[in-house]
Structure 1
Amino acid sequence: MSTPSVLISGAGPSGLVLAIILVQSGISVRIIEKQTHHPIGSRGTGVQPRTLELYDILGCLAAIEKAGTFSSPVAKYKPGVKEPIYTATMSEWVEPSPCVPRSNPILLPQYVHEQILRDRLAAFGCTVELGSELRSFEQHLDHVVAHITTTNATGQSKDETATFKWLVSTDGARSSVRKQLGIGFPGKVLTEGWVVIGDIVVEDLDGLELGMWHQWSAGPNKFVYLRSNGKYREWMFTCPRLQEDTTMTREEFIEYFYSVSERRGVKFGEMSWVSNYRPSGRIADSLRSRRVFIAGDAAHVHSPTGGQGLNSSVQDSFNLGWKLALVETGAASDSLLDSYNDERRPVITQMLAMTSDLLRKTVEQIESKDDSKLKNEAWKRGGEFWMLGVNYAGSRIILGDGDVTAPTAAYSYKPGEHVRAAYRAPDASGLVLADGTETTFFHLFSMARHTILVFGTADAASVVESLGKLPKQLFKVVRVLPKDTGAAQQTIDGVTVIRDTKGYAHDGYIIPTDQSTIVVVRPDAVVGAVVADASGVENYLKKVFI
């Protein structure tokens, strides 16, 4: 059996998403995890609207939505009092639209999230190798030599040396790959004290409502949170660490909870997971070293406030995956991979600033003794935190005109604007194929190819011709007809014709029907170019393909 082309070290969400993208694109992958069992624990629970959109294209959205719940309110209590001081809405409900069908985040325990991704990966015949640790590696001109130690269930170990074209490290904040590469990880700790996070079963609620966050505070650095997902027996908890260099026991947590909340009517079951945690804000100096890449927590760590962490990690993989697939298949040059670092670092840098500021507000709110001043700023979400405005303006592989290519805030959500290069490609429903099948843009998009949307008077045949000798499977050319167009249309080889029966595509992209407009959508559902004709498409292709 031939050696896979890509080794992924670390099987958390970012590693799993990367593996799915690559195998969907026909790239052979080996994904290893040094732990001997899949992790448990709620951990990163927020899944933002932009990530949900990408999961729709990846093919696992239905399972994610079925397992998750919508964002929950937060209630703060005085010790011993069952009625809350206040109840804060973390985020106002945003009505979905044809262009933004997933407009609200969901909550999902990370262990469930990862199982869904593993199931999706297994559908392509690829599974995670547990108990396999990347000990060291050497880079060469055209390959990477990896030294792997595999430990079986009985504790027996076996050493192995294998050769791969590429190595991607998604092995967490203490990444051994990042350290071996000598890549700096500058930043700072964000709080003076450590906190404990974990999962525990609540057997008697004593009036606590399911599907909510519950918060008690009894002075500076004396607080406790209990959060219910609503669908799962475990409740996630957070409190200060009581003793250094020790892990809180179930009995210690329960007694601490009672001492702060004075709610001894709440009864607990088993504690399934617990960990000490101290928020830090760090970003790697580079996300690439020749044939080795880092992504997820190996590349950046930050405050959990705002629910950006897991989402930023998987979005690293959405950015890297399609580019690595193109280079590995020979459709693009190695230089395309430099854009991974160039596009993602500005996004992460702004994300670090946003989440650190939100953490500061959270600490101030926890320690505040004046309830009249509590305006719930620390709980406010929405807008930029939904990540719908994350963009790659200024990227060398984006083609646009005027302001669309100028560097701007990496998080800048401005709903209602016309389609712009470097920003997300909106969805649209009410699209009907020639055979009468109804579809959406997100179901036409694919992580394995570019989608070229041809609007107005633009010539679809010339767009197909502009692709030249590039592999046709890497593109889908879609002619978007206005809603008032008749059903009978000329068939063009290599072009999928759809009718915008409700006008959502033209309205959402704000494109006049009497103008020639071509929108090139990258595999990661980012608009690579907005151009007027096939020559513009050719100019974009020169930036990405050989």
Structure 2
Amino acid sequence: MSQPSVLIAGAGPAGLILGISLLKNGVAVRLIDRESKHRVGSRGAGIQPRTLESYDILGVLPEILKRADPELCRRRMYELPGGTKVIKELPVVEYVEPTPGMPHTNPVTLGQDLHEEILHGYLVELGGTVEFDTVLGSFDQLPDHVVAQLVKTRPDGTEATESAKFDWLVGADGVHSVVRKQLGLSFVGETKEEDYVLVGDIDVVNESLDRKFWHYWIPPSQMLILRPGAGTSWRMAFTGAPEHWKKTLPTRDEFVEKFYAVTGRRDIKFGAATWLSSFRPSMRMVDKFGVGRVFVVGDAAHCHSPTGGQGLNSSVQDSINLGWKLALVATGRAPATLLDSYSTERLPIIAEMLKLTTSLYEQTAATAGTGDVGGWTTAFKRGGALGMLGVNTRGSTIVLVDDEHAAAEGGAYAAAAPGRVQAGYRAPDAPGLVGEDETTARLFDVFGPAEHTVLVFGGDALAHGAVKHALACWPQGTEHTMLISRAGEKGESTVLREVLEDREGHAYAGYASDMTEGGMTIVIVRPDGVVGAVVSQAEGIERYGKLIFG
């Protein structure tokens, strides 16, 4: 690998995914982290359907699903005092049946420690590595590069300082981000100073709790939660904890005694606590995601209540949005102005996410604190938009929509109109595609993080020739084009060499259901799985290409 072009500060999921995306695009990276190893603890464990789709396209999904718990648990709320009688049971998330266009409709849970381990392993397979015990002290941004001051802690505890030059710098360095602070980005929002949440992982060494459930004890103004983790580990959350814990983190024994006092459940036998931590919910975001050659992703750009399971997922989606754009610019195939769209596309999405999660937090806290059993069904309801399958970039300056395929109105979390693909929204999957050699495929196998996928539906040889001519204006290696023929039609094209037969009809149903007879629909899918353009004529390919490649 050549001299690193991009420095990524922070090796959590956002930093790792950005590193993977850039390496898959042939861009050399250097990834550092201040910790001595990946942090222990489950932390953000929910992986939403949209992130599963992104992982599918990126190629990291199989191991994630292998290690994750796909079973959708239910919640059990217990009567107090006593703590053993179940007074309410409801699903954590309502199960949604997968469809050909949406194969990942339900979240899975995987502790962040295992999550990072898997992503790190994949990064290493691509030739990358993480330099632990290395801190970004400061940086200087010049017109054509960035100079970073790095501080490495040696095994003997001494420090070594290095000055290194990079083309780009990305801060994935958390809520206290050095990158964000030195850039001078505002971090607008609030911190719920009065609210204190203790979290951690602790072993339960007997079989007193059913691992198919999340368990809740909700006395007035407090809430204790135990949810199953890996092995004998359970994730713990305690809101409304004692005032003195706000100054000094409790020990494992102090937590256990408080748990017994609140719940009365001394039949639950605890083992070791893997980690304990605390936080006050903050709802904040930057005013822009970068300046010049320096950008922020993940917690460095936004933080919020964990209610709704959007944090880790939004962080990963930041990196997926930035990765392909930065790769095109870093390899000289697109102008630096393309990177402006990172901010313009992510800002409205994160603003709506913060509004959504803050509302959920306030509703949950208010209802749980009153002991209103009847209201818990609404207060604890999740799923729906939180699956993030409706998150879109509608209205983006680099999304092209012709009048025939105009997008419907809606917010940044609003799904496309049913039954038709629209620019700015997720690209649906379509299984049952068959190649000329009778091999089967699906669109999520065809999409990739390093190229735009151009899907051509219908049209004749003349129209296909126009498509090829239009694509000649794009930089080499930036597209993968194929003709999708209807079931039963060979769809031979001497111009568009790759042809897939839509033998099960899912591709035409999802992408070209409103195409007129004899017409043509061209759908351009970006490397992040978002539809960049839906057009009816080949000249639309040239117009879209100018938005991306200049």
Q: Same fold (TM over 0.5)?
A: yes
Q: What is the aligned partner in structure 2 of residue 16 from structure 1?
A: 16
Amino acid at match of 2:234: W
2:216 alignment counterpart: 215
Q: Say if 2:405 is the partner of 1:401.
A: no
- One-letter code aligned to 1:252: E
Output the amino acid matched with 1:28.
A
| 1:53 alignment counterpart | 53
CA–CA separation in structure 2 for the residues paired with 1:7 and 1:494: 39
Q: CA deviation at 1:375?
A: 4.2
Task: Letter of the 2:17 partner, please give it.
Answer: V
Contact 1:7 1:164 in 2 (8 A): yes
Shift of 1:406: 7.7
- Unpaired runs of 5+ residues, structure 2, are none
1:133 pairs, out of 132, 135, 150, with 135
- Conservation of the 8 A alpha-carbon contact between 1:190 and 1:356: no
**Which residue number corresponds to residue 266 of structure 1?**
268
Per-residue CA shift, 1:446-479, capped at 9, x if unaligned?
A: 1100000000226333222212253332100010
**Residue 182 of structure 1: how far off its partner (Å):** 1.0
Structure 2 counterpart SS, 1:443: helix
Per the alignment, residue 313 of structure 1 pairs with 315
Q: Which residue of 1 aligns with 2:483?
A: 479
Alignment partners' CA distance in 2, 1:384 and 1:128:
34
Q: How many residues align?
A: 540
Which position in structure 2 is the counterpart of 1:180?
182
Tell me, what secondary structure is at the counterpart of 2:411? coil
Matched, 1:160 2:162: yes
Task: Tell me whether 72-81 or 259-268 shows the greater mean CA deviation.
Answer: 72-81
d(CA) in 2 for partners of 1:415, 1:253: 49
Amino acid of the residue matched to residue 268 of structure 2? V
**Counterpart in the other structure of 1:432:** 434
1:74 Cα deviation after fit: 0.8
1:67-216 paired onto structure 2 within 5 Å? 67-70=67-70, 71-79=72-80, 80-190=82-192, 192-206=194-208, 208-216=209-217
CA spacing shift, 1:302–1:283, aligned 2, 3 Å: same
Looking at structure 1, the residues matched to 4 and 406 of structure 2 have their Cα atoms a distance apart, in angstroms, of 39
Mapped contact 1:398–1:405 kept (Cα < 8 A): no
Cross-structure match for 2:386: 385
C-alpha separation in 1, matches of 2:512 and 2:466: 23
Contact 2:473 2:545 in 1 (8 A): no
| Cα RMSD, aligned residues only | 1.6
Kept in 2, the 8 Å contact 1:99–1:508? The answer is yes
Counterpart of 1:6 in structure 2 is: 6
Return closer, same or farther for 1:180/1:492 CA change in 2, 3 Å cut-off.
same
User: C-alpha deviations, 1:344-388, integer Å up to 9, x for none?
Assistant: 0000000000000100111123212342x3241222122211111
Identity %: 45
Contact persistence 1:453–1:479 (CA under 8 A): yes
Partner residue in 1 for 2:28: 28
Does structure 2 retain, via aligned residues, the 8 Å contact 1:76–1:216?
yes
Report matched runs for 1:34-45 at 5 Å.
34-45=34-45
Secondary structure class of the residue paired with 2:236: strand
In structure 2, distance between residues paired with 1:100 and 1:406: 20
- Determine if contact 2:464/2:496 at 8 Å carries over to the other structure: no
Equivalent-residue separation in structure 2 for 1:366 and 1:123 (angstroms): 46
Write the distance in 2 (CA, Å) between the matches of 1:470 and 1:369. 61
In 1, Cα distance between equivalents of 2:409 and 2:168 = 30
TM-score by length of 1: 0.96
Would the aligned equivalents of 2:202 and 2:274 in 1 still touch at CA under 8 Å? Answer: yes
1:121 corresponds to which letter in structure 2?
Answer: L
Structure 2 residue matching 1:85: 3-state secondary structure: strand
Partner Cα distance (1:394, 1:471) in 2? 25
**Equivalent residue in structure 2 for 1:465, among 466, 469, 475:** 469
| 1:376 alignment counterpart | 377
C-alpha change, 1:469 and 1:535, in structure 2 (3 Å) is closer
* Residue aligning to 2:522: 518
Q: What residue in structure 1 maps to residue 232 of structure 2?
A: 233
Distance 1:193 1:518, change over 3 A: same
Matched with 1:492 is 494
Structure 1 ranges of 4+ moved more than 6 A? none
Moved more, 498-507 or 240-249: 240-249
Contact 1:13 1:313 in 2 (8 A): yes
Offset of residue 2 of structure 1: 4.9
Deviations 1:133-158 (A, max 9, x none): 00000000100000001112221211
Distance between the aligned counterparts of 2:466 and 2:328, measured in 1? 23
> Counterparts of 2:258 and 2:116 in 1: how far apart (Å)?
31
Q: 1:510 to 1:384 in 2, by over 3 A?
A: farther
1:154 match: secondary structure: coil
Alpha-carbon distance change, 225 to 375 in structure 1, aligned in 2, over 3 angstroms? closer
Deviates most, 490-499 or 81-90: 490-499
The residue type equivalent to 1:346 in the other structure is P
CA–CA distance in 2 between the matches of 1:263 and 1:341?
Answer: 49
Cα deviation, 1:147-179, whole Å, max 9, x if unaligned, reads 001112221211101100000000000001111
Which letter does structure 2 place at the counterpart of 1:306?
Answer: G
Q: CA deviation at 1:534?
A: 1.0
Distance in 2 between residues matched to 1:335 and 1:100, nearest whole Å: 33
CA positional deviation for 1:193: 1.8
State the one-letter code of the partner of 2:468: V
SS at match of 1:87: strand
State the TM-score, normalizing by the size of structure 2: 0.95
Task: Tell me if structure 1 keeps the 8 A contact 2:492–2:499.
Answer: no
Greater mean deviation of Cα atoms: 507-516 or 23-32: 507-516
**1:321 deviation in Å?**
0.4
Closer/same/farther in 2, CA of residues 501 and 541 from structure 1, 3 Å limit: same
How far apart, CA to CA, are the structure 1 residues paired with 2:525 and 2:375? Answer: 44
Structure 1 spans left out of the alignment, 5+ residues: none
Q: CA deviation at 1:415?
A: 6.2
Deviation for aligned residue 1:232: 2.9
Asked whether the 8 Å contact 2:427–2:529 carries over to 1, the reply is yes
Counterpart residue type for residue 217 of structure 1 = I
C-alpha separation in 1, matches of 2:161 and 2:93? 50
For residue 191 of structure 1, report the CA deviation from its aligned partner. 6.0
Q: Is the 8 A contact 1:417 1:510 kept in 2?
A: no
CA-CA distance at 1:405 after TM superposition: 5.9
Is the 1:450–1:476 Cα contact (8 Å) retained in structure 2?
Answer: yes
Distance 2:337 2:216 in 1: 50
Q: After TM superposition, give the deviation of residue 217 of structure 1 in Å.
A: 1.9
Give SS of 1:376's match. helix
Give the 3-state SS of the residue equivalent to 2:444 in structure 1: helix
CA–CA distance in 1 between the matches of 2:117 and 2:497? 37
Deviates most, 37-46 or 74-83: 74-83
- Is the contact between residue 368 and residue 376 of structure 2 (CA under 8 Å) also seen in structure 1? no
- Separation (CA, whole Å) in 1 of partners of 2:470 and 2:497: 13
Counterpart code for 1:340: Y
Verify the 8 A CA contact 2:83 2:217 in the aligned structure 1. Answer: no
Is residue 325 of structure 2 the alignment partner of residue 323 of structure 1?
yes
SS at match of 2:498: strand
Comparing 392-401 with 137-146, greater Cα deviation is found at: 392-401
Report the alpha carbon displacement of residue 218 of structure 1 after superposing the two structures with TM: 2.2
Match of 2:541 in 1: 537
